[in-house]
DNA sequence: GATAGCCGGGG
DNA sequence: GTGTACGGCTATC
């Protein structure tokens, strides 16, 4: 290492090193740039020497595969061309190749194009002459697949200096490491918001806080342009200077990872918009590239050239969905405050978002509070990052996705990339993404889940939930379940309870990868036991589990390249047999199973102790094959189950329950109304009803709460603030074809001169349904304009839908709750 | 019964 | 950008 890092360390930015270089480091990111009209892959490497390198591979060309339906040879394909806005698009090279396609040997042509963007254009033209494959794989991912490289593990890179850039000539795997010393910065902006929703072209960024670690040093600060007498505050001239100063700090500390909270959707987006409005450049990139926002499926992804952006809000949602964050189990809303307070003993400094602009316009004390709040947000973010990022890092290493992709991906996308890498390694054609038509078709025919036992709706006490998540991976492995092993005429096969057959003599890619993941996890767990403070081992174990557990979902995910109904339904069918066994064993141990489905059971402990329940779990686990493991999710004091199995949604039952854990927190699933487009009275009443049931165990008390609310509503005395419903208009009011209450309220406000058109554009409309008018929209008025309210609307369309989800299954009917409310009044 | 539109996080 | 969202819900037609 001394030789290589010594030579790497001599490479200064301004120096002109001669000849070849050898660099040891980890891959932070892979993207591409056009340099002198040439498409070049950039591998951003963090050297073990602490420096960062842009290594450019200019020898990698975009390509796709073509299987002609008739006769064709390389020369004839090379001569083909199509037009794109007057530009001729034609291959630059064509090679013959042979690959396996779902187990069948297939001859195909590899068609190279000049630029990545020509691939979709030319392949869609070629589809009229045959079948095309691998035309929908983003160029930088293609590179990662073909080079078979894993980010964040140590490689030795050989490179050489050219006049334009450092050229990457090759890389070889060296070793795995745990902790990465990445220069990391956490930040948060505050924005002037007199209309509540800040307007990008008008409302300035007034403060920006940051914390960083870089090269072992730490720092923090708040940048603003009003004088605030606090040691951490740096006062600059104006908003432009604030933005520029931030870019300067990022450069000065050579930041590798920039992290925010909801920063893709807000902070970075807002900074880009403000820079545009101010007419200044805003670019956080290092080396090539700009700072922009790309759509990445469900979420927006921030792309910063040469650096990694991580939006912790997306990370939090990810780890919550996959169940990798016990701290967050009971959260219904993932605000930074909620998340921070769930992982720490501190409270976060809290400020009402609506009044941030007032603090800015207020007293010296107000300004100081705002600055402290701003800095505290970056601090809280850093804590949240340090708690949850190790899992993301290990997921990157496990699946091969670059770090900036992990947190914006679903588990299905992570698994898909892993499968694509293995497909390439085993010379398998990567199947195409399904068409929208196919997706629709798949969605219409959902895979039958392994539904076992529906709960009788009601209130239960003293329970435990056990989670059985290793079940499906081990079923896939032990029966060699894979789209490529499905067979009708093979001799040796596993036959699933659905009748599907899986060839025993040809190993499928999914079972093979799963086996590797599970064996790795065994090793990691062993090492972790010896070194329990090593969070990287703990996180790696989690990452391996998350990845393994995602394979089944991927088989049945409608957008999957390797979707297979037969495979997915075979997995669940076999799963039913195992869960039945689990239930049987639990009951033998004296635990009543009130509910169970594909991968979890809820047991009534009765007079058994928690320790006895754990003893059952351990004994049962000992009887299972290695990969399978029943785990405890939590113990609960009380629970209300109201979910009901539905013909159309057999899994629906598991989604509707509320539980009070032994630690006193409430976990609500399936009927949350923690949304601003429900009135506070509906949200509060639902919450009060659940709390009455969970904390006092009484459905009657809950019903009385509803009756009182109905009575209060009828009496006309409920303050309008409790009745306001907030919905944001996403476009200007003239651009809607449809009618809706929020739109109607906004239009009336404009007509009455209460609001200008500008003020309601993209604004959150807070409205009340009044008693005047026909349809709901006719009755909608801005909260500040409303004089009364429509009690029937709030009873029938707000409170009742919210509470009946719970009380209906506890044998209360709507009329009873409403009529009794009336009687009481009489 | 189908369709349009919004929420989530942030300020 | 070798691209284009999820699942649930309401109001409207």
Residue A193 CB lies within 7 Å of the nucleic strand B? yes
pLDDT tens string A121-143: 999 999 999 999 999 999 999 99
Q: Please answer whether residues A179 and A164 qualify as being in contact, where contact means their C-beta atoms are separated by less than 8 angstroms.
A: no
Residue A457 CA to residue A589 CA, distance in Å, equals 24
Alpha helices in A663-775 (DSSP H): 680-696, 699-715, 741-751, 757-760
Of the candidates A566, A552, A459, which has an alpha carbon nearest to the alpha carbon of residue A102?
A566
> What are the backbone dihedrals phi and psi of residue A296, each rounded to the nearest 5 degrees, phi first?
-135, 80
For strand B, list residues 550-569 of chain A whose Cβ lies within 7 Å of it.
Answer: none
pLDDT tens string A345-358: 999 999 998 899 99
Q: Please answer whether residues A154 and A176 qualify as being in contact, where contact means their C-beta atoms are separated by less than 8 angstroms.
A: yes
For strand B, list residues 371-390 of chain A whose Cβ lies within 7 Å of it.
Answer: 377
For strand B, list residues 320-349 of chain A whose Cβ lies within 7 Å of it.
Answer: 333-337
Residue A313 CB lies within 7 Å of the nucleic strand B? yes
Among protein residues, the one whose C-alpha sits closest to the C1' atom of C4 is A297
* 3-class DSSP assignment, residue A439: helix
Q: Please answer whether residues A436 and A444 qualify as being in contact, where contact means their C-beta atoms are separated by less than 8 angstroms.
A: no
Secondary structure in 3-state letters for A187-224: EEEEECCCCCCCCCCCCCEEEEEEEEEECCEEEEEEEE
Residue A25 CA to residue A751 CA, distance in Å, equals 63
CA of A430 to C1' of C3 (A): 18
Residue A413 CA to residue A419 CA, distance in Å, equals 10
Structure tokens given for A82: 């199509």
Residue A508 CA to residue A590 CA, distance in Å, equals 40
Among protein residues, the one whose C-alpha sits closest to the C1' atom of B7 is A675
Q: Which nucleotides of C are covered by protein (CB under 7 A)?
A: 1-6, 8-13
Residue A715 CB lies within 7 Å of the nucleic strand C? no
Residue A151 CB lies within 7 Å of the nucleic strand C? no
Q: Which residues of A218-229 are buried (b: 16+ CB within 10 A; e: fewer)?
A: eeebbbbbeebe
Question: Which regions of chain A are under pLDDT 70?
Answer: 1-18, 328-332, 449-452, 626-627, 643-655, 669-674, 819-826
First to last CA, chain A: 87
Residue A65 CA to residue A112 CA, distance in Å, equals 9
The pLDDT score that the predictor gives to residue A18 is 61
The pLDDT score that the predictor gives to residue A739 is 86
Residue A739 CB lies within 7 Å of the nucleic strand B? no
Number of Cα atoms under 13 Å in the Cβ half of residue A735: 8
Which helix (H) or strand (E) segment is A233 a member of? strand A233-235
Among protein residues, the one whose C-alpha sits closest to the C1' atom of C13 is A738
Residue A131 CA to residue A294 CA, distance in Å, equals 30
Beta strand segments in A585-644, E: 592-597, 600-604, 631-641
Q: Residue A762: which nucleotide is closest by CA–C1'? A: B6
Q: CB-based contacts of A807: which residues, under 8 Å, 6+ apart?
A: A689, A699, A702, A703, A706, A817
pTM of the model: 0.86
Query: What is the residue whose two structure tokens read 């006719």?
Result: A778
Of the candidates A407, A427, A162, which has an alpha carbon nearest to the alpha carbon of residue A263?
A407
Structure tokens given for A40: 């070049």
For strand C, list residues 294-353 of chain A whose Cβ lies within 7 Å of it.
Answer: 294-299, 301, 303
Among protein residues, the one whose C-alpha sits closest to the C1' atom of C5 is A298
Q: How big is chain A by its Cα radius of gyration, in Å?
A: 30
Residue A396 CA to residue A522 CA, distance in Å, equals 19
Q: CB-based contacts of A143: which residues, under 8 Å, 6+ apart?
A: A30, A32, A41, A57, A60
Q: Residue A269: which nucleotide is closest by CA–C1'? A: B10
For strand B, list residues 457-486 of chain A whose Cβ lies within 7 Å of it.
Answer: none
Cα A806 from chain centroid (whole Å): 29
Of the candidates A296, A566, A563, A571, which has an alpha carbon nearest to the alpha carbon of residue A431?
A563
Structure tokens given for A235: 């006062």
Q: Please answer whether residues A377 and A351 qualify as being in contact, where contact means their C-beta atoms are separated by less than 8 angstroms.
A: no
* Cα dihedral across residues A48, A49, A51, A56: positive or negative: negative
Q: Residue A360: which nucleotide is closest by CA–C1'? A: B11
The pLDDT score that the predictor gives to residue A763 is 82
Query: What is the residue whose two structure tokens read 């591979």?
Result: A57
Which helix (H) or strand (E) segment is A663 a member of? none
Residue A22 CA to residue A160 CA, distance in Å, equals 8
């Amino acid at each position: 290492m001394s030789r290589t890092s010594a030579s790497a360390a001599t490479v200064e930015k301004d120096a002109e090193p001669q000849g070849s270089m050898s660099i040891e480091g980890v891959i932070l990111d892979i993207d591409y740039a056009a340099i002198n009209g040439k498409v070049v892959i950039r591998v951003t490497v963090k050297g073990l020497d602490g420096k960062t390198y842009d290594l450019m591979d200019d020898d990698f060309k975009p390509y796709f595969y073509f299987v002609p339906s008739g006769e064709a040879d390389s020369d004839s394909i090379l001569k083909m061309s199509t037009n794109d806005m007057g530009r001729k698009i034609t291959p630059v090279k064509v090679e013959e190749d042979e690959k396996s396609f779902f187990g069948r040997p297939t001859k195909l042509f590899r068609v190279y194009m000049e630029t990545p963007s020509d691939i979709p254009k030319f392949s869609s033209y070629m589809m009229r002459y045959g079948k095309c494959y691998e035309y929908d794989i983003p160029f930088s991912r293609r590179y990662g697949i073909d080079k078979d490289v894993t980010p964040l593990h140590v490689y030795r890179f050989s490179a050489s200096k050219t006049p334009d850039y450092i050229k990457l000539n090759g890389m070889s795997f060296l070793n795995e490491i745990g902790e990465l010393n990445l220069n990391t910065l956490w930040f948060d902006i505050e924005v002037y918001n007199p209309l509540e929703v800040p307007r990008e072209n008008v409302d300035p960024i007034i403060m920006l806080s940051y914390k960083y670690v870089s090269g072992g040093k730490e720092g923090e600060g708040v940048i603003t342009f009003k004088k605030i007498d606090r040691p951490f505050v740096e006062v600059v001239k104006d908003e432009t200077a604030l933005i520029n100063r931030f870019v300067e700090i990022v450069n000065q500390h050579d930041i590798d990872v920039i992290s925010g909270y909801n920063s893709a959707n807000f902070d970075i987006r807002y900074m880009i918009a403000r820079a545009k409005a101010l007419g200044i450049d805003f670019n956080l990139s290092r080396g090539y590239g700009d700072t922009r926002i790309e759509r990445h499926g469900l979420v927006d992804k921030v792309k910063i050239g040469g650096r990694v952006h991580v939006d912790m809000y997306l990370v939090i949602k990810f780890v919550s969905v996959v169940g990798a964050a016990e701290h967050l189990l009971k959260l219904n809303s993932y605000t930074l405050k909620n998340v921070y307070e769930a992982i720490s003993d501190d409270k976060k400094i809290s400020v009402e978002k609506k009044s941030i602009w007032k603090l800015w316009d207020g007293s010296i004390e107000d300004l100081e509070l705002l600055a402290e709040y701003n800095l505290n947000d970056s601090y809280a973010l850093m804590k949240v990052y340090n708690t949850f990022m190790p899992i993301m890092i290990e997921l990157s290493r496990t699946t091969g996705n670059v770090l900036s992709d992990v947190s914006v991906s679903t588990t299905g996308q992570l698994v898909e990339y892993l499968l694509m890498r293995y497909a390439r390694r085993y010379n398998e054609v990567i199947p195409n993404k399904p068409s929208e038509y196919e997706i629709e078709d798949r969605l219409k025919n959902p895979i039958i889940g392994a539904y076992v036992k529906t709960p009788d709706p009601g209130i239960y006490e003293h329970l435990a939930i056990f989670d059985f998540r290793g079940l499906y991976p081990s079923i896939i492995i032990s029966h060699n379940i894979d789209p490529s092993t499905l067979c009708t005429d093979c001799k040796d096969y596993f036959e699933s309870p659905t009748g599907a057959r899986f060839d025993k003599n040809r190993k499928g890619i999914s079972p093979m990868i799963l086996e590797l993941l599970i064996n790795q996890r065994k090793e990691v767990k062993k090492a972790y036991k010896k070194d329990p403070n090593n969070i990287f081992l703990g996180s790696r174990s989690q990452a391996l589990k998350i990845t393994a557990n995602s394979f089944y979902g991927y088989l049945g995910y409608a957008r999957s390249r390797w979707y297979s109904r037969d495979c997915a339904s075979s997995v669940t069918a076999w799963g039913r047999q195992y869960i039945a066994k689990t239930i049987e064993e639990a009951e033998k141990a004296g635990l009543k199973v009130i509910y169970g489905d594909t991968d979890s059971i809820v047991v009534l402990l009765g007079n058994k102790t928690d320790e006895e329940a754990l003893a059952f779990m351990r004994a049962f686990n000992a009887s299972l094959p290695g990969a399978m493991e029943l785990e405890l999710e939590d113990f609960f004091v009380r629970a209300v189950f109201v979910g009901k199995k539905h013909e159309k949604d057999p899994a629906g039952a598991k989604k509707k329950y509320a539980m009070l854990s032994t630690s006193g927190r409430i976990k609500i699933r399936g009927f949350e109304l923690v949304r601003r487009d429900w009135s506070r009275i509906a949200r509060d009443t639902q919450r009060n009803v659940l709390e009455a049931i969970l904390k006092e165990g009484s459905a009657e008390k809950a019903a009385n709460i509803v009756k009182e609310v109905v009575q209060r509503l009828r009496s006309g005395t409920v303050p309008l603030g409790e009745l306001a419903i907030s919905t944001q208009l996403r476009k200007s009011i003239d651009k809607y074809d449809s009618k809706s209450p929020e739109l109607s309220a906004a239009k009336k406000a404009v007509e009455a001169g209460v609001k200008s058109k500008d003020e309601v554009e993209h604004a959150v409309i807070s409205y009340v349904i009044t008693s005047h008018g026909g349809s709901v929209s006719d009755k909608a008025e801005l909260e500040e304009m409303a004089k009364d309210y429509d009690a029937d609307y709030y009873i029938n369309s707000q409170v009742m839908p919210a509470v009946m989800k719970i009380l209906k299954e506890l044998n209360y009917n709507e009329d009873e709750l409403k009529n009794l409310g009336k009687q009481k009044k009489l």
